[in-house]
Structure 1
Amino acid sequence: MKDFTLNDCWAKTDPETGQPCLSVTEHCKIVGSVAETLLSRLPPLVANQLPQGSVALVAAHDIGKLTPGFQLKAPLWPWHQTLKESIIADSLTTNHAIVSQWHLQNHSALRGNKKSQYWLVSTGGHHGSYPLACRTMKQAPYEGGNNSFLQLRNELTELLIQSFGSLPLEIAKHEFERIHLLTGFTIFSDWIGSNADWFPANISTDDKSLRDRSHEVLDSLRWNPRIHQQRSFGHQFTPQAPETFSPRPIQSALLEAADSPGLYIVEAPMGMGKTEAALTTAYQRWTQGDERGLYFALPTQLTSNKIHDRITTFLENILDDDSTQTLIHGNTWLGDKKSQTICPAFKEMNPDQPENEANDINEALRWYSSTRKQLMAPFGTGTIDQALLAVLPARFAALRYFALAGKVVVIDEVHSFDPYMSALIDRLIRYLIKAGSTVIILSATLTAQRRAELVQAAGASERSQPQDYPLITKVPTGSTHATHVSVPYQLAPQTVNLRHQHMHPDIEDEFWESIADKVEAGANVVVIRNTVALAQNTYRQLKARLSSRIPDENIGLLHSRFPQNERQTNEDYWTGILGKDDAKRPQGSLLVSTQIVEQSVDIDADCLITDLAPTELILQRIGRLHRHQRPRPAGFEQATCYILHPSTDWEGDAETVKDALSPHHWIYPPLTLWQAAQTLAPLSTIQLPQDIRPLLEQAASCQVPAKASSALCQFHDEHSRKRSAMHGTAALRDVFNASAIDDNEGTETRYGIKPSALLIILPSAPVEQGGNVIWQLPDGSTETHRVGEFNYPLAKALQTHATRIPAYLVKAQLSNCPDWLKQHIESGVLAVQADDSSELQLVHNSESATHTLSYRHDLGISYEKNESISHFSDPEDFWF
């Protein structure tokens, strides 16, 4: 029995009163108008990937709200009791997205056209995931035995078709990327149209009013950033003196090649200007092509933080109007750069700005500050993880994909990823090329095999594999073959001396004493160790030798086991004094670090010491050696890199060799360490950049001999199995064929990430008193919060002072964690440090503690296993 009409059925309620305030019809018309306006403003390559009829489909995304399971969610709806009495309410379908998809696939235009029904997956997935049951839809949603809503859905569907055109009839089978893009288009349109500030309940819903309002909203979000059309290369980077900054050969070559959207792979030595090459090419695509916006993706939070400021300055030089830039990774909420306004440099000289424009940019800033909306901003810098989440079964992956569509996407340091992430990057490239994006890949140490895989991801192949270096590889969108551009360079060859040091216990003291002598002689020495424990031990040894010979501030340690705020301070300090600025450079310093400085970090060493690592990473680390042209201390005019080899001959059984390799083989596959040793150990010098490609290819082609030792045979088999497992796991984590996961970086973007905890060191334990928790924070301040209530300043302070550690170290404390702590920091553990000791006393401790944790401001967190506890764990695993 139907006693109500379309106008009676609600889609939105007033958040304060709970009263229905916007009908399903009004909401669908609003969202359809937004989609229609948005479609008209998309880059043509993006718009062309959306099927004809997509606007009507987006408008119809919420017709499934016309169902008892949804309408009964508002107790104050006038028809609530009447409807409730007319149905059998048990097991009602409440997911209105599924009802929408079911109804549309049974529409007369689509009922017999199953190959077109695949477009409707976007409707069922518009709440952020693709439910497995939602794609088959072989069973009708249960509506309590009341079929009256079927007529209402039919009525609204026809009304929307009259307003926005027909539903998509194009064949959609196997159009996975386009379906995913359509889902993102639907979500974005829905989020805009659902904003009550922009589209209040009393808004006029005639076509013109909605169209005008939709344009106003997109204008306020700076959806189409305005780029200054005539900025020379010098004006892009040094507008104060543009004539002094001309493009280098790699930059000129990429600009000449980038005459169309597509994939561009740039292989060039460290410090040759690849970042500027990517940025100036992005500018060219914005001004001469249809692409808009930028996402610059890097391997780590540190590298993205460092490059973010450079991109900010670049944007200030080329924008024609205020816009928004975001920094996107898991810890950006702790700083002030999560979302920021970028003002063109010329506006600083003419600051007059209409008030409505100022309000618009503030509105954009607020909107893009939401974590799930950051990637939607016109310009962004962040981790590669944030982009990979667009092609994983993560919540709102489709929105991320739509956010990247049509942009210039730069992926830096692409060589640094394992087979799992490499497979995901290949998938990302395939999706981005399909969505009209231009992808620029940057690497100094790319093998020919990996380059061929990247080309294949763009739907093409290489007719040849040139050995030239530097090299640009170009795959225009739609092309089936790659072309290569050799780049003439005028860099003077740099000779790097290699010194191979086998770390026998009886000579270690003598070796480290010789390194201390170099520091005292005025050299700025950088030591890169493969694990935190090795770095801490090396720091202890060298600090003991140097503490009376050079100032303490010239001796430092960098790794991930410092509290977030201290790590940031340390990194800023050392990149400052060992960067380009000669005035800050000390006369003799020692920096011990883990891999966090091996790429995309501007640190310049007079002398470098590194653990044995895969060949491409050794070359990256050498990129920190004599990085800039400057006078060197006497005796260090020639670049010298010491490679620390584990004391092993690679013969014998696997366990013996692994013991000798420990802990390095927990970080890098033993086979790649053997390949690096075979490639580099015979060499006393290398020439850069000429030797980079030959060394990479030699290491990659280094095969285990037919009559190899049992250790090498086992390492080869383990390596092959691990690669296969990584590729297989990546294939299983497909956008449509796996259960949705939370959209957090690291959850599925990294292979084998082990459980971790956040350790916060406090002066004293929190006190529960009268329903309150009183905190004394590390900076001396005090915070109080009511039990059960969330205190944002407290949560931020805890996160800022937290250190990530393996969860097995504090397993018992995690189990005993109170709810008021879980509410403020996920997987958090508290510790108290006495003034006279480095040992930490864990709050919520228990008898089963397996490890003793210690902390020093110069060392960070260290730990020792309690001898009385029987507990097995990996000695150091991935943690650096």
Structure 2
Amino acid sequence: MKAAATGAQLGRRAPQTIPRRGTIDQALLSALQTPHAHLRSVCLDRQLLVVDEVHASDPYMRHLLTELLRHHLASSHALLLSATLGAVAQDAFLGAAGAKQSGSKLDDALKMPYPALTNGAGEHLPLVVASTRTKSVTVESVPHLSDPGALLPTIQRALAQGARILVVLNTVGRTLALQRAVEDTVPADTLFHCRDIITPHHGRYSPADREVLDAAVSTRMGKGSNSGPLLLIGTQTLEQSLDIDADLLITDLCPMDVLLQRIGRLHRHDRERPASMKEARCLLLTPENGSLKDWLQSDGEATGNAKRIGLGSVYADLRTLQLTWDYLRQNPPIEIPRGNRLLVESKVDPRFQTVV
């Protein structure tokens, strides 16, 4: 058996392995058979592991996190945070803590409190809710998924009315294409700038640049920021851990839990808004033909065009996309946070999905 580490190795390498604050992939590497994985694990031992936005993990990441928790909780503690975590994922994480799997049916899942504070035994603890603020959001399907540029007239009108607009697209390629289009058609002073440079928001920046960009977004669009027309375009990087208060949201079709995160950046704070933006409104870019069937090949795989939009690639399970779209076509508007539990459980949880 290979020694875990000599004293010299541990002293020399361990402090360099995992920062006190970092991305989840650095911690997940300790659950894989990779070089020095044991040193990554040692750095986490006897520490409080805090994982924010835990709902954002895909099935593979969720499995790795479950294994990481199984080891970590043998000697330490963990705190998982999420606004849209479904019951199945919660069961898996609680199972890593030794809690009995609930195997809850949909009715049981829907009865779970929201928001909720749950300990490692699966017990719901008393929770003081800091805010009772609610909002009603109208979601309008716009059949221009293949061509977001078709919304340029809508964007121009909203900017002319003084609106702050947030556009969230599923891929960097789509984001950059729309950014180029708007730079040719709307006044430059209405576009988001970072250090005097017109800038979209996505995950391809260096860590140092990303930190500056994130701070600029929260300063320009967060609580207490100046009003006035503004357009910010980006990818999923905008839907988490940033303080953004938009008057109008434009977004690609995405799973319901992801959509709720994006809607969380719409009318986030109480402030004065343009007369035409008093009501929270989300424009959802959807397929032109009214169905996702044409985006599938005969073997059930998503087509190349679909994957370029993020359907079947960024969001691999097209069933969740179809269920989300079907619900929104039948049941607008949505009430937040009152409707969150129903929306997440019935449209994202794999046990409750039907064949579409």
Q: Specify the TM-score bucket, using the shorter chain as the normaliser.
A: 0.7 to 0.9
Aligned-partner SS, 2:275 = coil
Question: Partner residue of 1:485?
Answer: 125
Aligned-partner SS, 1:642 = strand
Question: Partner residue of 2:315?
Answer: 668
1:558 aligns with 2:198: no
Q: TM-score, normalised by structure 1?
A: 0.36
1:403 aligns with 2:49: no
CA–CA separation in structure 1 for the residues paired with 2:47 and 2:242: 25
Aligned-partner SS, 1:557 = coil
Question: Partner residue of 1:858?
Answer: none
Q: Please tell me whether the aligned partners of residues 469 and 487 of structure 1 are also in contact (alpha carbons under 8 angstroms).
A: no
Query: Which amino acid in 2 is paired with 1:621?
Result: R
CA–CA separation in structure 1 for the residues paired with 2:237 and 2:85: 19
Question: Partner residue of 2:292?
Answer: 650
Query: Which amino acid in 2 is paired with 1:572?
Result: A
Q: How does 1:711-726 map to 2 (within 5 A)?
A: 712=356
Distance change (3 Å), C-alpha of 1:191 and 1:703: closer
1:532 aligns with 2:172: yes
Question: Partner residue of 2:274?
Answer: 633
Q: Give how far 1:421 is off.
A: 0.9
* Regions of 4+ moved over 6 Å: 504-507
Q: Please tell me whether the aligned partners of residues 148 and 178 of structure 2 are also in contact (alpha carbons under 8 angstroms).
A: no
Q: Please tell me whether the aligned partners of residues 118 and 124 of structure 2 are also in contact (alpha carbons under 8 angstroms).
A: yes
Q: Give how far 1:375 is off.
A: 5.3
CA–CA separation in structure 1 for the residues paired with 2:26 and 2:295: 42
1:681 aligns with 2:326: no
Q: Give how far 1:467 is off.
A: 2.0
Distance change (3 Å), C-alpha of 1:387 and 1:562: closer
Q: Give how far 1:527 is off.
A: 0.2
Q: How does 1:264-343 map to 2 (within 5 A)?
A: none
CA–CA separation in structure 2 for the residues paired with 1:395 and 1:662: 33
Aligned-partner SS, 2:85 = coil
CA–CA separation in structure 2 for the residues paired with 1:376 and 1:653: 41
Question: Partner residue of 1:430?
Answer: 70
Give the superposed CA RMSD.
2.9
CA–CA separation in structure 1 for the residues paired with 2:331 and 2:41: 46
CA–CA separation in structure 1 for the residues paired with 2:140 and 2:304: 24
CA–CA separation in structure 2 for the residues paired with 1:690 and 1:488: 16
Structure of larger gyration radius: 1
Task: For residues 230-283 of structure 1, give each alpha carbon's deviation from its aligned partner in whole angstroms, at most 9, with x where no partner exists.
Answer: xxxxxxxxxxxxxxxxxxxxxxxxxxxxxxxxxxxxxxxxxxxxxxxxxxxxxx
2:116 counterpart (471, 474, 478): 471
Q: Please tell me whether the aligned partners of residues 192 and 231 of structure 2 are also in contact (alpha carbons under 8 angstroms).
A: no
Aligned-partner SS, 1:443 = coil
Question: Partner residue of 2:185?
Answer: 545
Gaps of 5+ in 1: 1-120, 128-186, 196-366, 476-480, 706-711, 713-880
Task: For residues 30-80 of structure 1, give each alpha carbon's deviation from its aligned partner in whole angstroms, at most 9, with x where no partner exists.
Answer: xxxxxxxxxxxxxxxxxxxxxxxxxxxxxxxxxxxxxxxxxxxxxxxxxxx
CA–CA separation in structure 1 for the residues paired with 2:192 and 2:26: 39
Q: Please tell me whether the aligned partners of residues 221 and 244 of structure 2 are also in contact (alpha carbons under 8 angstroms).
A: yes
Give the number of the structure with larger relative contact order, counting CA–CA contacts within 8 Å between residues 6 or more apart.
2
Q: Give how far 1:414 is off.
A: 0.9
Q: Please tell me whether the aligned partners of residues 163 and 274 of structure 2 are also in contact (alpha carbons under 8 angstroms).
A: yes
CA–CA separation in structure 2 for the residues paired with 1:549 and 1:398: 51
Query: Which amino acid in 2 is paired with 1:513?
Result: P
1:458 aligns with 2:94: no
Distance change (3 Å), C-alpha of 1:546 and 1:602: same
Q: Give how far 1:561 is off.
A: 4.0
Q: Please tell me whether the aligned partners of residues 606 and 626 of structure 1 are also in contact (alpha carbons under 8 angstroms).
A: yes
1:421 aligns with 2:71: no
Gaps of 5+ in 2: none
Distance change (3 Å), C-alpha of 1:422 and 1:563: closer
Q: Please tell me whether the aligned partners of residues 525 and 590 of structure 1 are also in contact (alpha carbons under 8 angstroms).
A: yes
CA–CA separation in structure 2 for the residues paired with 1:546 and 1:402: 53
Distance change (3 Å), C-alpha of 1:432 and 1:524: same
Aligned-partner SS, 1:382 = coil
CA–CA separation in structure 1 for the residues paired with 2:145 and 2:60: 35
Question: Partner residue of 1:578?
Answer: 221
What is the percentage of aligned positions where both structures have the same residue? Answer: 31
Aligned-partner SS, 2:178 = helix
Aligned-partner SS, 2:81 = strand
CA–CA separation in structure 1 for the residues paired with 2:66 and 2:209: 36
Q: Give how far 1:462 is off.
A: 4.7
Distance change (3 Å), C-alpha of 1:562 and 1:437: closer
1:703 aligns with 2:345: no
Distance change (3 Å), C-alpha of 1:571 and 1:488: closer
Distance change (3 Å), C-alpha of 1:568 and 1:653: closer
Question: Partner residue of 2:15?
Answer: 373
Q: Please tell me whether the aligned partners of residues 470 and 486 of structure 1 are also in contact (alpha carbons under 8 angstroms).
A: no
Q: Please tell me whether the aligned partners of residues 149 and 178 of structure 2 are also in contact (alpha carbons under 8 angstroms).
A: no
CA–CA separation in structure 2 for the residues paired with 1:527 and 1:627: 15
Query: Which amino acid in 1 is paired with 2:3?
Result: G
Task: For residues 670-696 of structure 1, give each alpha carbon's deviation from its aligned partner in whole angstroms, at most 9, with x where no partner exists.
Answer: 233222212323232111111111001
Q: Give how far 1:557 is off.
A: 1.3
CA–CA separation in structure 2 for the residues paired with 1:647 and 1:520: 27
Q: Please tell me whether the aligned partners of residues 141 and 285 of structure 2 are also in contact (alpha carbons under 8 angstroms).
A: yes
CA–CA separation in structure 2 for the residues paired with 1:638 and 1:376: 45
Q: Please tell me whether the aligned partners of residues 49 and 79 of structure 2 are also in contact (alpha carbons under 8 angstroms).
A: yes
Aligned-partner SS, 1:635 = helix
1:440 aligns with 2:79: yes
Q: Please tell me whether the aligned partners of residues 192 and 230 of structure 2 are also in contact (alpha carbons under 8 angstroms).
A: no
Task: For residues 696-747 of structure 1, give each alpha carbon's deviation from its aligned partner in whole angstroms, at most 9, with x where no partner exists.
Answer: 1110255344xxxxxx5xxxxxxxxxxxxxxxxxxxxxxxxxxxxxxxxxxx
Range with greater deviation from structure 2 (616-625 or 562-571): 562-571
Query: Which amino acid in 2 is paired with 1:695?
Result: L
Distance change (3 Å), C-alpha of 1:575 and 1:492: closer
Q: Please tell me whether the aligned partners of residues 295 and 306 of structure 2 are also in contact (alpha carbons under 8 angstroms).
A: no
CA–CA separation in structure 2 for the residues paired with 1:482 and 1:550: 48
Q: TM-score, normalised by structure 2?
A: 0.84
Q: Please tell me whether the aligned partners of residues 92 and 101 of structure 2 are also in contact (alpha carbons under 8 angstroms).
A: no
CA–CA separation in structure 1 for the residues paired with 2:232 and 2:17: 35
Distance change (3 Å), C-alpha of 1:684 and 1:512: farther
Q: Give how far 1:402 is off.
A: 2.2
Q: Give how far 1:548 is off.
A: 6.6
Distance change (3 Å), C-alpha of 1:635 and 1:564: same
Q: Give how far 1:647 is off.
A: 1.9
Give the number of equivalent residue pairs.
Answer: 337
Q: Give how far 1:376 is off.
A: 7.2
Aligned-partner SS, 2:50 = strand
Question: Partner residue of 1:692?
Answer: 340
Q: Please tell me whether the aligned partners of residues 578 and 605 of structure 1 are also in contact (alpha carbons under 8 angstroms).
A: yes
Q: Please tell me whether the aligned partners of residues 498 and 683 of structure 1 are also in contact (alpha carbons under 8 angstroms).
A: no
Q: Please tell me whether the aligned partners of residues 142 and 283 of structure 2 are also in contact (alpha carbons under 8 angstroms).
A: yes
Q: Give how far 1:606 is off.
A: 1.4
Distance change (3 Å), C-alpha of 1:659 and 1:702: farther
Question: Partner residue of 1:501?
Answer: 142
Query: Which amino acid in 1 is paired with 2:292?
Result: W
CA–CA separation in structure 1 for the residues paired with 2:154 and 2:251: 15
CA–CA separation in structure 2 for the residues paired with 1:690 and 1:558: 30
Query: Which amino acid in 1 is paired with 2:314?
Result: I
Query: Which amino acid in 1 is paired with 2:59?
Result: P
Query: Which amino acid in 2 is paired with 1:468?
Result: P
Distance change (3 Å), C-alpha of 1:411 and 1:615: same
1:125 aligns with 2:125: no
Task: For residues 314-334 of structure 1, give each alpha carbon's deviation from its aligned partner in whole angstroms, at most 9, with x where no partner exists.
Answer: xxxxxxxxxxxxxxxxxxxxx
